[in-house]
Amino acid sequence: MGKPTGFLEYQRETPADRTPLERIKDWDEFHLHLSDDKLRTQGARCMDCGIPFCHTGQLINGMASGCPINNLIPEWNDLVYRGLWREALDRLHETNNFPEFTGRVCPAPCEGSCTVGLLEPPVTIKSIECAIVDKGFEEGWIVPQAPPVRTGKKVAVVGSGPSGLACAAQLNRAGHWVTVFERADRIGGLLMYGIPNMKLDKEKVVQRRVDLLAAEGVRFITNTEVGKDYPVDKLRQRFDAIVLCGGATKPNDLPIPGRELKGIHFAMDFLRGNTKRLLDERSGVSTNGHFISAAGKDVIVIGGGDTGTDCVATALRHGCRSLAQFEIVPRPPDTRAPDNPWPQWPRVYKMDYGQEEAAARFGADPRTYQISTTKFVGDEHGHVKELHTVKVNMKFKDGRMTFEPIPGTEEVWPAQLVLLAMGFRGPEDFLIEQLGVARDARSNVAAEHGKFRTSVEGIFAAGDMRRGQSLVVWAINEGRGAAREVDRWLMGETSLP
C-alpha cells in the first residue's frame, strides 16, 4: 500500500463527461479521462484494507458484491499510485481479458463494495481500470500474443458476445484452434449491437480487440447461424468441443390490447438497427433507411435498466419530440435501505447518462415510477398513437410480488414510438433443441457453474445462455470458466486460471 492515509487526505474525483446537450448531437463516447497525476491521487485512496470485498465477486442474498472476475483491484490501484502503469496493466490482464469493455460499460459492483464507501465516496475503481488499459493501447504495450504451441484440438464457440470472446481468448491461449460463429454481420454480440456507440465505441474499442484476437489465431465466421446456415451435425463432426455462448436474446413482451399496432418494438431491435446503420454509413454501405427512427416522435420506453437507458439516449440523438420512461417498481431510495447493506450493490436512486441527457433536453428525469401500461391505441392506419396507463402499488402476497392498480390514476400518453425494454426470458430455442441439451426451470441451458458441462458430452455453455440475463463482467467470468473446463476435458488437466 503506497499511501496508508490516502483515503483520508484525498476526495473522490471522477472524469468529467461531455455536457449532455453537446453529446446528444453525435454518437461519440461521452466519458473523458483524468490526467495521470489525478489518477495517481485516486489510486492513493485505495487503502489495501485487508478485507477487499471489491474483488470478491460473490452474491449475498441474491445481490452482487464485488468484481465477478476477481480483478486484483488493490494491487493495480497501488501500481497506478506509484506510476507503474505497465505493471498495472499486467495485473489487470491477469483476470480480465477485456478491461476496455468493462471499464466503459460495467456498473462497477466493485465500487459498491469498496470499504472506503462505508463512510466516504468509494475509490474510483472503474475509471482507473479504463485508464490503465487505454494507456496500454496508446503506448503500444498490448500486442498480439499467439500461443507458442498448438494442441491440434478444435473448439467451436457459438456466439461472439463477451462470454464467447472471453472463452475464445482463453482457449486460444491454451493452444487450441478456436472458431467463433456469429450470425450477425459483425463480431461482438451485444458489445457490437446491443450497447450504443456513445457508451462503447465499436471501431476504436470493440473491433480493435477483435482484430487482436484474430491476429492471435482465433478464427471468426460471421453471417452464419449454427443450426440454420451451418448444420449441427457438421459442427459436431469437425470440432472436438462446442461452447454455447449465444446469450439470452428472447425478450419479454407486453401482451396487452393493441400490441399488434405498428410502432411498438422490442428495445434490442431499435438499438441493433441504429448501430448497424451508423457503422454501415461510416463504412460507405447504403442502409436504405432500414432502421427504427425516433425523429420527431413522442417516444415512450417501457422498462428500466441499462437497456431502457440506452433507448432513451438513442431516441434523444435521433431528435425525438418528447420522451417518457415507465418503470413499474417504486422509485429507489436516496440512500441504502436497511435490507440492502454494504457490501451489496447499493439499490439507490441515480441518474444514468440517458436520464441526465433527457433532463437537460426536456427539463426533468423522464422516468415515471409505479406505472403500468393497460393498452395501446392506434390511429386509422394501424399505427400506435397513444398509451393508457394506471399507477400501481407493489405488494407481496404469498412470497410473490404483485402490482395492484390505484383507482382514479388513469392517464393517456401520446406516442408514435414505443420501445419495450423489460428484460429477457432466456435463450432462443432453435439451436438448443437441435443439439438436444437439457434446460433448467428458467429455460436456460442446464450446466452447473464451475463445470459448464451440458447434458451432452463435449458441449459446454456459458454466459447469459446458461445463467440468464446478466452483466458483461459476469459473461466474461463465465467465458473464462468454460474455457478452463473445456481445456481440462480435452487435455485431462488445465493451467488456465
pLDDT tens-digit readout, 313-330: 999 999 999 999 999 999
* Residue 289: predicted pLDDT: 60
The proportion of the chain whose per-residue pLDDT surpasses 70, expressed as a percent, equals: 99
* Residue 396: predicted pLDDT: 85
- Report the pLDDT averaged over residues 35-55: 91
* Residue 283: predicted pLDDT: 87
Q: Does residue 24 contact residue 31 with C-beta atoms inside 8 Å?
A: no
Integer Cα distance of 412 and 376 in angstroms: 10
- Report the pLDDT averaged over residues 201-224: 98
Residue 436 buriedness (CB in 10 A; 0-12 / 13-18 / 19+)? exposed
Q: State the residue for C-alpha cell 468484481.
A: 67
Q: Evaluate if residue 63 carries a pLDDT over 90.
A: no
Integer Cα distance of 166 and 159 in angstroms: 11
Task: Count other Cβ atoms within 10 Å, centred on residue 220.
Answer: 21
Top-confidence residue, 291 or 163: 163
Residue 387 buriedness (CB in 10 A; 0-12 / 13-18 / 19+)? buried
Bridge partners of residue 230, in order along the sequence:
226
Kind and range of the H or E element at 56? none
Q: Evaluate if residue 2 carries a pLDDT over 80.
A: no
Which positions ≥6 away from 293 have C-beta within 8 Å? 318
For the chain, helix, strand, coil in percent to 5 are: 35, 20, 45
Q: Evaluate if residue 286 carries a pLDDT over 80.
A: no
Architecture in CATH of 6-138? Orthogonal Bundle (1.10)
* Residue 47: predicted pLDDT: 83
* Residue 3: predicted pLDDT: 81
* Residue 61: predicted pLDDT: 82
Which amino acid appears at position 283 of this protein? S
* Residue 288: predicted pLDDT: 63
Bridge partners of residue 266, in order along the sequence:
420
Which DSSP string do the residues of 96-108 spell out, in sequence order? -S-HHHHHHH---
pLDDT band at 48 (very low <50, low <70, confident <90, very high): confident
Integer Cα distance of 327 and 312 in angstroms: 13
Q: How many residues does the chain have?
A: 497
Q: Distance from CA of residue 126 to its chain's centroid?
A: 14
Domain spans of the chain?
6-138, 154-249+425-491, 264-420
Integer Cα distance of 164 and 180 in angstroms: 8
Q: State the residue for C-alpha cell 454481420.
A: 185
Angle between helices 162-173 and 207-215 (to 10 degrees): 20
Q: Evaluate if residue 124 carries a pLDDT over 80.
A: yes
Residue 380 buriedness (CB in 10 A; 0-12 / 13-18 / 19+)? exposed
* Residue 51: predicted pLDDT: 83
pLDDT band at 397 (very low <50, low <70, confident <90, very high): confident
- Specify the CATH number of the domain 154-249+425-491: 3.50.50.60
- Specify the CATH number of the domain 264-420: 3.50.50.60
Backbone angles phi, psi at 135, to 5 degrees: -65, -35
Which positions ≥6 away from 338 have C-beta within 8 Å? none
> Are the folds of 154-249+425-491 and 264-420 the same?
yes
Predicted confidence (pLDDT) per residue in 350-364, tens digit: 999 999 999 999 999
Integer Cα distance of 459 and 446 in angstroms: 11
User: Which of 457, 435, 452 lies closest to 496, judged by CA?
Assistant: 452
